[in-house]
């Protein structure tokens, strides 16, 4: 019979180290680097990415340069060297994939109608065609600058929602939302790149 008495005693190891070791066993260095950079909101040096991804700095630098060449990350000049951050297009693709995974075609269509109505109301109110037109008409300190931000948010969210809807054209059997790598990562981390459908921000579809 196995003696399990030691299982009731406090484990003296490092929980974080154990988690990192398991992560390393189940992933490649490239996987960990892309995972780190995709969740990094501020530009970071290769050394910082390497530490978080549990890889050697030269390995991180090599993969980050490759990712920058294909547009997956953006390289930024900084004091002391080059920093890296996720590219805006990467974040947009995560939002698109997340919306497509979480919402039906009909829900996205309803959201698009709602976003268009909100945009039309703001455009009619100010007599402009888009946020840039409104911005050129305003003076510093004008209260309507908040509407410029609202319009830009709505315009971006509309583009994202339309792109997510278009993914249904690539659904081979019409079975509904696809489970994407992006949505899988969100489920693992407990984070969402898109929030609720009504939460495209305060201007999202209700």
Res. 137: pLDDT tops 60? yes
Structure confidence at residue 184 (pLDDT): 47
Q: With pLDDT > 90 as the criterion, what percentage of the chain qualifies?
A: 35
Q: Which residues contact 101 (CB under 8 A, 6 or more apart)?
A: 177, 178, 179, 180, 182, 183
User: What integer is the mean pLDDT of 84-107?
Assistant: 86
**Domains of the chain with bracketed CATH:** 12-86 (1.10.10.10), 90-199 (no CATH)
- Least confident stretch, 7-11, 124-128, 193-197: 193-197
The per-residue pLDDT for range 155-176, each reduced to its tens digit, is 989 988 998 898 887 654 444 4
Q: What is the pLDDT of residue 1?
A: 46
Question: 103: buried, middle or exposed (CB in 10 Å: 19+, 13-18, 0-12)?
Answer: buried
pLDDT at 89: 79
Alpha helices in the chain (DSSP H): 15-26, 29-38, 46-53, 57-69, 88-102, 105-126, 131-137, 145-166, 181-189
Closest CA to 119 of 161, 81, 181, 87: 161
- Closest Cα partner for 151 from 172, 125, 169? 125
Average pLDDT, the chain: 78
With pLDDT > 70 as the criterion, what percentage of the chain qualifies? 75
Q: What is the pLDDT at residue 122? A: 93
Query: What pLDDT shows up at residue 51?
Result: 92
pLDDT at residue 131 above 70? yes
Three-class SS state of 178: coil
Q: Span 113-121, mean pLDDT? A: 94
């Amino acid at each position: 019979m196995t003696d399990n008495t030691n299982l009731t005693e406090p484990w003296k190891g490092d929980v974080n180290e154990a988690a990192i070791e398991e992560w390393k066993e189940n992933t490649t260095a490239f996987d960990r680097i892309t995972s780190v950079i995709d969740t990094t909101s501020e530009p970071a040096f290769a050394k910082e990415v390497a530490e978080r991804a549990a890889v050697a700095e030269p390995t991180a630098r090599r993969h980050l340069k490759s990712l920058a060449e294909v547009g997956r990350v953006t390289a930024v000049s900084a004091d002391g060297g080059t920093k890296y951050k996720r590219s805006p297009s990467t974040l947009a693709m995560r939002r698109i994939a997340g919306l497509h995974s979480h919402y039906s075609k009909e829900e996205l269509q309803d959201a698009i109608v709602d976003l268009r109505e909100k945009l039309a109301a703001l455009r009619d109110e100010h007599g402009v065609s888009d946020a840039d037109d409104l911005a050129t008409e305003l003076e510093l300190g004008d209260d309507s600058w908040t509407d410029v931000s609202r319009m830009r948010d709505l315009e971006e969210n509309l583009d994202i929602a339309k792109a997510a809807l278009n993914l249904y054209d690539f659904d081979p059997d019409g079975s509904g939302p696809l489970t994407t790598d992006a949505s899988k990562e969100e489920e693992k981390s407990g984070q969402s790149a898109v929030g609720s459908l009504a939460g495209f921000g305060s201007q999202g579809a209700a």
